[in-house]
């Protein structure tokens, strides 16, 4: 950790990689953003990814996520999956996905495990196999090798090494990986957004193969996908008893851009749209929010503002606060402290939320 290059304070925790404290990022964003952007560019170039979203005049518009890339012949989109060849968009199509997958025994360390059918039996017998945790069953965990954000604290940043590789799995092959003991599929990564068409197709095929029994469709996402895909995602999760787990990474757009390289406006708009579905199926919960408590940057005020936003939509939407572990470009920050986590929990509850949970307790430290 170091001191802020703008105000020269050395607390709260300040990452040397970022170089600025949260207060200066908020109050002097125009001045400090060029330096923050350099950090994001460098973190992407190191993996052969486009430094910024392409905006090539005369190129082909992707339109799949918030980046809204305009891609020239031979260029790649910001996600590293979408590209233009022969005048047509390639990659991120319904039939083929760049991903890895594995089986995760239930109950698992899922963001939603404190409210979902796999961890609690919520929705039994229609959506859950048991009245409690689903021991003896498993989740098909689908990890997509692409993302529409550039989070400097990404816990799974190694996916960047495979974004342009040939780790291709067809939608049919993925659907056929669902066996008799698989009762849920969770799409994450990276993020499912750049390959959302593949996830939707695989989900439909898997649901057709398992018609008449439980197979929940779940998503863990930054919520940056374009509007046409929301209805398909929502319907798959609603009908199957699955959930959509939203990472609300920061409330202030300037903090969000500093940490994740892009705006959070699309994420908040999408979350608001999906919140309208929550009354259609109160149990098990359809929509779950989570926030990683990054020391020095995602503080009590940030969490309180996020919680107030959620509570105004539906105070029963579950909210999980996750412990931060030093990683990737923010490896010089301390772990989230217990006091930080519990202060944030109190703030979220004071904002009106009724189902607030602290996850990753084993990661919490004592300092700060």
Do 98 and 81 form a contact (C-beta atoms < 8 A)?
Answer: yes
Gyration radius of the chain's alpha carbons: 20
Mark whether 205 and 253 lie in a shared domain: no
Per-residue pLDDT, 78: 97
Model pLDDT, residue 366: 75
Q: In angstroms, what CA-CA distances link 148 with 100, 199, 231, 292, 296?
A: 18, 15, 20, 18, 24
- Pick from 247, 276, 300: which residue ends a domain? 247
Residue 23 sits in the same domain as residue 42: yes
Q: Report if pTM > 0.85.
A: yes
Entry field: residues in the chain: 368
Same domain, 241 and 252: no
Query: What CATH number does residue 289 fall under?
Result: 3.80.30
- Indicate the DSSP class of residue 224: -
Segment 11-66, tens digit of pLDDT: 899 999 999 999 999 999 999 999 999 999 999 999 999 999 999 999 999 999 99
Instruction: Provide the pairing of β-strand 88-90 with 83-85.
Output: antiparallel
Residues 59 and 143 grouped into a single domain: yes
d(CA 304, CA 302): 5
Give the residue from 207, 228, 247 where a domain finishes. 247
Of 214, 230, 247, which closes a domain? 247
Integer Cα distance of 128 and 48 in angstroms: 43
Give the per-residue pLDDT at 367. Answer: 61
| Domains held by the chain: number | 2
Beta carbons of 28 and 6 less than 8 angstroms apart: yes
> Residue 162: is its pLDDT beyond 80?
no
Domain range enclosing 14: 1-46+248-368
C-alpha to C-alpha distance for 182 and 79, rounded to whole angstroms: 30
Q: What is the pLDDT of residues 240-278, one digit of tens each?
A: 999 999 999 999 999 999 999 999 999 999 999 999 999
Domain match, 142 and 73 both: yes
């Amino acid at each position: 950790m170091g001191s802020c290059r703008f105000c020269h304070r050395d607390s709260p925790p300040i990452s040397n990689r970022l170089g600025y404290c949260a207060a200066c990022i908020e109050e002097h964003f125009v001045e400090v953003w060029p330096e923050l952007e350099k950090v994001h560019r460098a973190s992407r170039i190191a993996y052969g990814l486009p430094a910024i979203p392409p905006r090539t005049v005369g190129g082909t518009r992707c339109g799949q996520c918030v980046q809204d890339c305009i891609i020239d012949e031979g260029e790649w989109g910001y996600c590293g999956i979408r590209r233009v060849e022969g005048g047509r968009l390639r990659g991120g199509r319904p039939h083929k996905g760049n991903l890895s997958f594995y089986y995760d025994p239930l109950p698992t360390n899922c963001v939603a495990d404190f409210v979902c059918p796999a961890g609690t039996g919520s929705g039994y017998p229609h959506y859950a196999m048991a009245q409690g945790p689903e021991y003896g069953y498993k989740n098909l965990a689908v990890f997509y090798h692409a993302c529409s954000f550039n989070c400097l604290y990404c816990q799974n940043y190694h996916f960047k090494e495979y974004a342009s590789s040939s780790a291709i799995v067809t939608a049919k092959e993925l659907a056929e990986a669902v066996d008799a003991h698989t009762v849920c599929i969770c799409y994450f990564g990276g993020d499912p957004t750049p390959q959302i068409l593949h996830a939707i197709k695989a989900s439909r095929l898997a649901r057709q193969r398992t018609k008449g029994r439980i197979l929940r469709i779940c998503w863990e996402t930054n919520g940056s996908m374009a509007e046409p895909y929301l209805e398909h995602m929502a319907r798959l999760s609603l009908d199957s008893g699955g959930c959509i787990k939203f990472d609300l990474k920061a409330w202030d757009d300037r903090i969000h851009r500093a940490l994740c390289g892009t705006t959070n406006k699309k994420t908040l708009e999408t979350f608001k749209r999906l919140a309208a579905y929550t009354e259609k199926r109160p149990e098990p919960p359809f929509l779950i929010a989570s926030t990683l408590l990054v020391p020095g940057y995602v503080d009590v005020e940030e969490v309180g503002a996020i919680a107030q936003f959620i509570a105004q939509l539906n105070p029963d939407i579950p909210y999980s606060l996750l412990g931060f572990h030093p990683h990737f470009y923010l490896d010089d920050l301390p772990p989230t402290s217990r006091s930080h986590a519990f202060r944030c929990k109190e703030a979220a509850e004071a904002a009106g939320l009724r189902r607030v949970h602290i996850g990753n307790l084993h990661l919490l430290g004592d300092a700060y």
